[in-house]
Chains A and B, each alone.
Chain A
């Protein structure tokens, strides 16, 4: 036989194998190392990203205040002495602030120096005084120590984001201003406090006054509507496709469509919103309503796909049992299958909402980038959402906005973490093995 002519050489193989083994194991180790390095690199990116944002942003949760003895001069605020709220609201509080600052530093007299002195406190300081005077008219005529919001650059200097060691020309804040600040600090008149304004104010051109309340409200209205649009539609579509749809070309087409829509670039949805909802149907621009329509369409595939998976995991025996006692197919679905699939569907919906929460590109197309100071009050007010607010602030040149942007990102990430956590918990809590 052929096999018999072959020289028996069992030693040969093992010797050759052993000879090259070291090299092969070196390669094995290299490959393994590359894999581990890739994972480590990925995790490193996560760590860097979070560390960078946190380090940039955590200081924004504090705000520098300057304590100034303010004389609520009746001659300026309420010359008529009527205490009429309208008159009080219209008074020139900037003059009050300026006078108080001058009193604090009587030695500063030169014009340019005075301008620097006034610039230490925020442009929002007069408003602070105004609301004080309106709430407690009794302060008028008295001198009170008031913690005024410091200007953005002062805030940055106090927090150490501006480098004192830089030459004056490269710095946004002058040497003489620093001198004044140091005198204030020596008197204990500078303090960092929790920044409530960041959560209660709308946006502003001044970083120290800018807050995310407007964006949060806009996000809330938008997401509520998004959920209202996409959840019933998504569940209905999933029920139909998974349980009732005949297998034909139309349902095939729907299926292909859903999978594709999940992968269409979000900006294309923005174009759709602009051309169809705004220009064709006349839905008002920049509103949570149109934003929710667009985001709803975007989350629809996510919810449909998740709901179908959840429905699929309900065993057929449940359906057979229900049908067996004479329930109609629809009753079977609504009374038995749907409740059992609900945790899975909810998980999908939360994940879809989390994605909608982070989305910004399509909203740029439909005008949700307007500069809106007021907090929106309803679904048809002009509004912006948190990610878009982040985008807008990131474009602002002031150093103070870097901090605010990062803080806003932290808030956004916080919400995302909460939502994903909720999804995970929901899945754990209701996970069922059939």
Chain B
């Protein structure tokens, strides 16, 4: 795995003023895109929307029990990249994905791979909380039901309960499981969506700016939750907030106009960024 990685990670020292002069085009990623014992391995990923290239030759590993944060200015392709990881881009007309993305060694864009079981393994939480217009219980039970994960009502009840507990929502909703999920507050809705995702026991959880629609208190609760979930899942999170990336993640990847500019330990990225663009972004010169 690491040999492949070193082939793809090209001459990182070459990024320089010359590149920046050419409109910030970056010819390679700085930093180590690999991680020991990865869950997902992406190499040379290109994504087009019609004729427009949204992701250019991105490689990144997503490791077990860690949170990878993806940061970058708006429109830099971080959400697009995230949506490639469970093939949510399939639902978008004219979106084309090229390159290699593997889950536990299995190529997910292989023709034989079916997005349905893939998405059961790679769950996703969206920017805006999107509970189904059903009861809280039904929201969580939805995934297990469609996949037939439980054999009895009692089992399903237990699964709903543990999922809600893991999402830290149980105590708040245990008395009103039959009320509509849309009636909860924004933060509760987002935790409901996380509980819904956990209920199918995925291996990787993708989060697309999960706190951008929430207030600071709800954000803090979710961030805490993400930290707890790390013990069981591999997590990739797209965020607009650098503070959030610094708080919840172990590794950080900086995207710029479809390029993955720099990857590294979160501490290192925030304290000692290698690339000018990363530094400018982190110090708030743009973005």
Contacts and interface: CB of A to CB of B under 8 A. Distances in A.
Decide whether A and B are members of one complex.
yes
Interface string B222-247: 00000010011000000000000000
Contact of B201 (A4, A13, A18): A13
Interface stretch (B3-11, B12-20, B84-92, B114-122): B114-122
A17 B148 CA distance: 7
Contact of B228 (A3, A8, A16): A3
A366 to B, nearest CB: 48
Interface in A1-31: 1-4, 6, 8-10, 12-14, 16-21, 24
B162 interface: yes
A8 B148 contact: no
Contact of A17 (B147, B203, B228): B147
B166 interface: yes
B117 A14 contact: yes
Interface in B111-164: 114, 116-117, 120-121, 146-149, 162
A428 B162 CA distance: 57
B201 A3 contact: no
Contacts of A19: 148
A383 B140 CA distance: 67
A12 B199 CA distance: 13
Given A1-B228, A3-B231, A10 B203 contact: yes
A341 B121 CA distance: 53
Contacts of B179: none
Contacts of A1: 228, 231
Given A4-B231, A10-B203, A13-B200, A18 B117 contact: yes
A2 B149 CA distance: 21
A24 B114 CA distance: 12
Nearest to B228: A3
B228 A20 contact: no
Given A1-B228, A6-B162, A21 B149 contact: no
B2 interface: no
B165 interface: yes
Nearest to B203: A10
B201 A10 contact: yes
Nearest to B39: A10
Contacts of A6: 162, 232
A20 B232 CA distance: 25
B147 A3 contact: no
A28 to B, nearest CB: 9
Contacts of B166: 2-3
Contacts of A16: 147-149
B117 A2 contact: no
Interface string B192-232: 00000000111100000000000000000000000010011
Interface size class of B (residues with CB under 8 A): 10 to 19
A22 to B, nearest CB: 11
A13 B201 CA distance: 7
Interface string B89-123: 00000000000000000000000001011001100
Contacts of A18: 117
Given A3-B231, A9-B201, A16-B149, A21 B116 contact: yes
B114 A12 contact: no
Contacts of B232: 3, 6, 8
A3 B225 CA distance: 12
B231 A17 contact: no
Contact of B149 (A4, A8, A13): A13
A17 B120 contact: yes
Nearest to B148: A20
Interface in A375-413: none
A2 B229 CA distance: 11
A24 B86 CA distance: 19
| Most B C-beta atoms less than 10 A away, residue of A3, A6, A9, A17 | A17
A24 B116 contact: yes
| Most B C-beta atoms less than 10 A away, residue of A13, A19, A21 | A13
A315 to B, nearest CB: 27
Nearest to B116: A21
Contacts of B165: 2
A327 to B, nearest CB: 41
Contacts of B202: 13
A9 B162 CA distance: 14
Contacts of B228: 1, 3
B194 to A, nearest CB: 13
Nearest to B202: A13
Given A2-B165, A4-B231, A21 B201 contact: no
Contacts of B146: 24
4 residue pairs, one from A and one from B, having the closest CB atoms: A17-B117, A13-B201, A17-B120, A20-B148
Given A4-B231, A17-B117, 5 more contacts: A3-B166, A12-B201, A17-B120, A17-B147, A21-B117
Interface of B: 114, 116-117, 120-121, 146-149, 162, 165-166, 200-203, 228, 231-232
16 contacts: A1-B228, A1-B231, A2-B166, A13-B121, A13-B147, A13-B201, A16-B147, A16-B148, A16-B149, A17-B117, A17-B120, A17-B149, A20-B148, A21-B116, A24-B116, A24-B146
